[in-house]
Structure 1
Amino acid sequence: MGGTHLHITAWVLGLILFIIALVLYKKSSNKPATIVHMILRLVYLFIIITGGLLTWDYIQGYSMPILGEVIVKALAGLWIVVMMEMILVSAKKGKSATGKWIQFLIALIIVIILGFFRLPMGFYF
């Protein structure tokens, strides 16, 4: 369960840094935004590593159909990281990111439902 807490903590930190970088880019504070964005990229690594370790734990301890949901959650988690990066790059360039936001929200809903409510290492198991 410790890995789960580390993964959730990494995600919370990542989302906070994402919001800060986004706000700074919107205010045209590019240098501070770039610094926060670079720190966020390091946090992405922690998110991906802890997520990979959790996925490995599931592979070791569970069988189908749980593994199908684990794979979908892992792919949706990577999708979120990619969309966060693309949204920030769009904000930096001053371009619209509506489609990216929609994808981000869809992937986030998938991850929350699978991670907290469906899979055994979530809140309800």
Structure 2
Amino acid sequence: MLHNTDAHITTWVITLILFIVALFLHNSKNEKGFKIVHMVIRLFYILIIITGGLLFFNNQSLNPALYGVKMLVGLLVIAVMEMLLIRLKKGKGTGLFWVLFIILLLAVFYLGLRLPLGWHPFA
């Protein structure tokens, strides 16, 4: 059913853009706008999980361990993004979550590029 990554990548890109927009809205003290964008981001989390799950179940036979690790790391990225937004909203410290977010995001991009359906610039 889902044999290419177009829908998954599109949802990720839109989510990352909305995440940046939410950060700017929070910094400009626009709480209503922040809340609306945060809810839209949560919708996109669901879309990311659905498209990623379809990719996983349709393509895991190509490299099951790597697909499983990427799925786990991708879910952790979503969890850390949500924790960042919630902690920003509550005014709590976010330093550790920013470090985790950057490390996990780089890891999920690397794993995505290593998978058989990924982009292979140096192959």
When normalised by structure 2's length, the TM-score is: 0.91
SS of the residue corresponding to residue 103 of structure 1 reads helix
1:75 deviates by: 0.5
1:103 correspondence with 2:104: no
Q: Where does residue 119 of structure 2 map in the other structure?
A: 123
Count of residues in Structure 1 that have an aligned counterpart in Structure 2:
120
SS of the residue corresponding to residue 96 of structure 1 reads coil
1:67 correspondence with 2:97: no
Q: Residue 3 of structure 2 contacts residue 59 of structure 2 at CA under 8 Å; is this kept in 1?
A: no
Runs of 4+ deviating beyond 3 Å: none
Amino acid across the alignment from 2:119: F
Amino acid across the alignment from 1:86: M
Q: Residue 21 of structure 1 contacts residue 37 of structure 1 at CA under 8 Å; is this kept in 2?
A: yes
Q: Percent identity?
A: 45
Separation in structure 2 between the aligned mates of residue 79 and residue 24 of structure 1, nearest angstrom: 24
When normalised by structure 1's length, the TM-score is: 0.90
Amino acid across the alignment from 2:23: L
- Unpaired runs of 5+ in structure 2? none
Q: CA RMSD in A?
A: 1.4
Q: Which has the higher helix share?
A: 1
SS of the residue corresponding to residue 78 of structure 2 reads helix
- Unpaired runs of 5+ in structure 1? none
1:81 correspondence with 2:82: no
Q: Where does residue 23 of structure 1 map in the other structure?
A: 24
Deviations 1:69-119 (A, max 9, x none): 111100110001011111011111122211111111111111111101x11
Q: Where does residue 91 of structure 1 map in the other structure?
A: 88
